[in-house]
Structure 1
Amino acid sequence: DDHKLNLSDLFQRYNTDPKTQILVIRNGEKNQINIEDLVVGNIIEVKSGDRIPADIRIIESSDFHVDTSPLTEGMQPQIRSTELTHENPLETKNLAFHSTIAAKGTAKGLVIRAGDFTVAGRLIKLNSNQSTGGTSSTKEISHSIYSITLIGNVSEFRRTNRKVCEIPFNAINKYQLSIHKIHTNNENEEHSQPYLLVMKGPPERILDRCSKIYIDGTDVEMSDYWRSQFNNAYLELGNLGDRVLGFCDLHLSCSEYPYGYSFNVNECNFPINNLRFLGLVATTNPPRVAVSDTIINCRSAGIKVVMVTEDYPFFAKPIARATNIILEGSEIIEDISIYSNISPELVNSSDAKARVTRGYDLAGKSPEELDALIRDYTEIVFVRVDPRQKAMILEGEYDTINKEILRSILYLACQRQSAIVTMIGSNIGDSPALRQADVGIAMGMTSSVVREQVADIIFMDDNFASLLTGIKQGRLMFDNLKKSIAYIMTSSIPKMTLVLICLLTNIPLTWGIASVLCIDVMNIIGAISLAYEKMEADVMKRRPRDLQHDRLVNKR
């Protein structure tokens, strides 16, 4: 079932991705076209890394291998050529199918099926038409759903209280608002208050828009006491690392908003203040287990991981500790400053190695102070970072700073210390940061076309632990390439030196061209073997290399 789901997701995503194009040969000319424009009879070219956009018959190939795991769950790439090797289309080597991946080499193919008529399309259609009885667990869940539906039919409630107006959540408003035409059994109540306005968003922003609070079935005036109760509940939930939303509503009277009233979101001809606060809802989204181990391994490899979030400090700290960005038992400079009632800058840096700094605090820091912050603290979290893409610093009520400005500041501070900066982003607002960084990494499953275009690396599994795999492979490739170059130079430099001596002293060369070629061929074999050496035991215990001194070829 998992394989069917993965195949369906892959097929749907590939066919709806607007940037997916393929090289087609038509009338002797090569052109890039969208895959939905492919028709039977087209000749296409595919190379290593391409997804096969249709079922094709191979008419020309060069060391062409195909990864068929999306269809067959096979682990090893299979060779494809022009040779017909089996009567079964699924077994022969001269056919390649939609959704499989070109793992190696190049090929030209004639399109024989496209779209829903491909093998992958027919499998998906077959799977969607099949119904299964389900496991005992799914049957039990279905029974529970039916029972709950009998108690309260949510879809029916939505239908009878239909939405007539909505302001979607965005980074500027920081709330989501909708207005519903209500239906109740009390006809008088329905006619006196025909519409209900509901709003949700960050609790502190929702509370600021409320003048009343709903307590034990009655509306109570918002007072300092209830604000204090709100803050206590908010902090308690936030310290657990939960995501918290605030909710409020307002019944709109018939005298001002009669039936058929035209609500306009652009003019905002309805109230968005003096609402009634309803309460808080907290959701838990724990980080993946592999994240904390990955960060520990990154730290042992000399890599500093910095967390940047728009959350408040009391939200960010539990997440940072759960992921080992701040180690268990580590003291935080800001906490020490609160206990000691002094400025964080006056706290001795030797007392703690963790900083939880508000983004706007960086705006007034000098380059030297920023360098000291990056250099002296190993565990750093920046909070209250606003994602809005505006070239301005946002100070005041919510103490936030533009995320792009903050990342630019961090990038320059790290660059001054000759560090390689890697940015990992999963939001649309992260695209400029991915472009600016030395290495930009986007999450593939949730990434947009824009992020994929500016990113240097895409994690197709959305797994932060893939970062560790990439670092290992990068260090292994650099080490082996360095060994191969050093090996080749040990023979090339003596030969070149001897030739120069012979030329300068008019001494005849003691060997011919054939001898030189023989030596070079033997050297290449040894160099290739070094390129495939296994990873050294300490490869993830070393600090990152110094770009100024540790090069592929240096004085050593």
Structure 2
Amino acid sequence: KMIREIPFDSDRKMMTKIVEFEDKIYVLSKGAPEAILNKVGEGVEGVGVEGVGEKRVDGVKLDFKEKSVVDVVDEQNSLMASKGLRVLGLAWREITLEELNSTNNLNSTNNLERNLNFVGLIGLIDPPRRNVKEAIEKCHTAGIKVCMITGDHVQTAVAVAKSLGIYRSGDRSIRGKDLDGLSLEAICELKPFPTVFARVSPENKLTIVKALQKNNECVAMTGDGVNDAPAIKCANVGIAMGIAGTEITKQAADIILSDDNFTTIVSSIKQGRRVFDNINKFIIYLLSCNSAEIWVVLISVLFSQKSPLKPMNILWANIIADIPPSMSLGVEPFEPSIMMRNPRDPSLGI
């Protein structure tokens, strides 16, 4: 039975459960392989070595006589991550009842996550939704740069980003711990600006948004977790997931996606551009019609002539000749090239 749970957090990059089984108490941990290995005891060199000699995993020969388990785990972690798998490390240890009772407060629970015995790695695939690759391609065509910000291993993130068309030739990836050593100004000056950010913390996400804004970019940030809320709040457009998103994230966002689908964002951009185009058409048409009336009346006044337009003529022109056509312009369909042009500068007026 489960006795206690130490939940996952982005600083530790792991979670732990304390369970009782056959009158013994065990600490069971899972998380990022590097985080798990940091918690493994000095006996890691001997874990799984005795009586093994050599082993094959996915056809790869692992010779424990020449390599430490840490080296082998690191190699296999990189190999699995390069295939786009999310990799989890597993570890455990047995504790006494006295040890458990001495870690009842939050400050001492980390004492449970030490001297663990490493078990192995698990590779999970989280396939992207249908049509996401096509939606990202539309973003590139429309002059919109898509960045991936994730807590996954950098090789996992790059592999997934390549498969979706986010990461292309000449692009750059960076880890959260590398961002920690850079100032905001230094991040702004990165050339090229990274496309994939891996193993990031909530503070990193906020810094990325601020760096893009400092470079005069209009930033839309999407997310679903509590850790995403500060960055979503800071972004020019914050987008939260309506299904998987937490309440805090939804409150921080400007837009909530009811279907948690990236393609909906692209459709919204297309719809927004159509609305803006139609507003322009609407205004230009009304200004052209009304300015003609204004000039006729103004010239008549300047030359002390009787205006050729009577009030009823003006009302007729405005109500019959202006309003119906302008309303039809408001529901004009999409222009064929609407998603083939760069975004407009938000500081420019109509």
- In the TM superposition, what is the alpha-carbon distance from 1:262 to its structure 2 partner? 6.4
Partner deviation per Cα, 1:123-168 (whole Å, 9 max, x = no partner): xxxxxxxxxxxxxxxxxxxxxxxxxxxxxxxxxxxxxxx2223222
State the distance in 2 between where 1:483 and 1:170 align: 51
Give the distance between the partners of 1:533 and 1:253, measured in 2 at CA. Answer: 73
Contact 1:203/1:280 (<8 A) preserved: yes
Q: Distance in 2 between matches of 1:367 and 1:165?
A: 44
Return 5+ residue gaps in structure 1 as ranges.
Answer: 1-161, 184-189, 331-351, 390-401
Q: Any residues of structure 2 matched to 1:265-304 within 5 Å, and which?
A: 265-268=105-108, 271-304=112-145
Residue 275 and residue 360 in structure 1: after superposition, are their counterparts in 2 closer, same or farther (change >3 A)? Answer: closer
Distance in 2 (CA, whole Å) between partners of 1:178 and 1:248 is 11
Partners of 1:167 and 1:265 within 8 A in 2: no
Counterpart for residue 85 of structure 2: 242
SS at match of 1:289: coil
2:160 maps to which of 308, 316, 319 = 319
Structure 2 counterpart of 1:21: none
Residue in 1 that maps onto 2:33? 203
User: Are the structure 2 counterparts of residues 236 and 515 from structure 1 closer, same or farther at C-alpha, using a change threshold of 3 Å?
Assistant: same
Structure-2 change in CA distance of 1:290 and 1:450 (3 Å): same
For residue 488 of structure 1, report the CA deviation from its aligned partner.
0.8
- Alignment match, 1:535: 334
2:233 and 2:102 mapped to 1: Cα distance? Answer: 44
For residues 436-472 of structure 1, give each alpha carbon's deviation from its aligned partner in whole angstroms, at most 9, with x where no partner exists.
2222111111122222223222110111011121111
2:265 counterpart of 1:467: yes
Q: Which runs of 5+ in 2 are unaligned?
A: 54-63
Cα deviation, residue 432, structure 1? 2.2
Tell me which residue corresponds to 2:147: 306
1:164–1:323 CA distance, 2 compared to 1 (3 A): same
Task: Spell out the pairing of 1:101-250 with structure 2 (5 A cutoff).
Answer: 162-183=1-22, 194-211=24-41, 212-213=43-44, 214-215=47-48, 225-250=68-93
Pick from 292, 296, 300 the counterpart of residue 494 of structure 1: 292
Count of residue correspondences: 334
Q: TM-score, normalised by structure 2?
A: 0.85
| Structure-2 residue corresponding to 1:517 | 315
CA RMSD of aligned residues (A): 2.9
Counterparts in 2 of 1:511 and 1:440: CA distance versus 1, 3 Å: same
- Report the Cα distance in structure 2 between the residues aligned to 1:533 and 1:411, rounded to whole angstroms: 33
User: What secondary structure is seen at the aligned counterpart in 2 of 1:168?
Assistant: strand
Shift of 1:476: 1.0
Shift, 1:272, TM fit: 2.7
Kept in 1, the 8 Å contact 2:86–2:152? The answer is no
Is residue 217 of structure 2 the alignment partner of residue 381 of structure 1?
A: no
Q: Cα–Cα, structure 1 residues 309 and 369, in superposed 2: closer, same or farther, change >3 Å?
A: closer
1:176 and 1:200 in contact (8 A); partners too: yes
Q: Whole-Å Cα distance in 2 between the matches of residues 450 and 202 of structure 1?
A: 26
Residue aligning to 1:405: 207
Q: Residues of 2 paired with 1:534 and 1:279: CA distance? A: 56
Partner SS state of residue 176, structure 1: strand
Contact 1:308–1:382 under 8 Å retained in 2: yes
Aligned residues of 2:103 and 2:112 also touching (Cα < 8 A): no
SS at structure 2 position matched to 1:228: helix
* Aligned match of 2:188: 370
Structure 2 residue aligned with 1:264: 104
1:358 to 166, 171, 175: 175
Partner of 1:450: 248
Partner of 1:130: none
Deviation at 1:365, TM superposition (A): 5.9
Asked which structure has the greater CA Rg, the reply is 1
Per-residue deviation, residues 46-97 of structure 1 (Å, max 9, x unmatched): xxxxxxxxxxxxxxxxxxxxxxxxxxxxxxxxxxxxxxxxxxxxxxxxxxxx
**1:358-384: CA deviation from partner (whole Å, max 9, x where unpaired):** 3455554674872563xx56x722223
On the 8 A contact 1:359/1:406 being kept in 2, the answer is no
1:286 partner amino acid? P
In the TM superposition, residue 227 of structure 1 has moved relative to its aligned partner by 1.1
- Displacement after TM superposition at 1:224 (Å): 6.2
Does structure 2 retain, via aligned residues, the 8 Å contact 1:166–1:265?
Answer: no
- Is this contact kept in 2: 1:210–1:273, CA < 8 A? yes
Alpha-carbon distance in structure 1 between the residues aligned to 2:190 and 2:76: 37
Q: In 2, are the aligned partners of 1:163 and 1:179 still within 8 Å (CA)?
A: yes
- Secondary structure in structure 2 of the residue aligned to 1:526: helix
Determine if contact 2:300/2:306 at 8 Å carries over to the other structure.
Answer: yes
Identity %: 31
CA contact (8 A) 1:165 1:263 kept: no
Deviations 1:17-68 (A, max 9, x none): xxxxxxxxxxxxxxxxxxxxxxxxxxxxxxxxxxxxxxxxxxxxxxxxxxxx
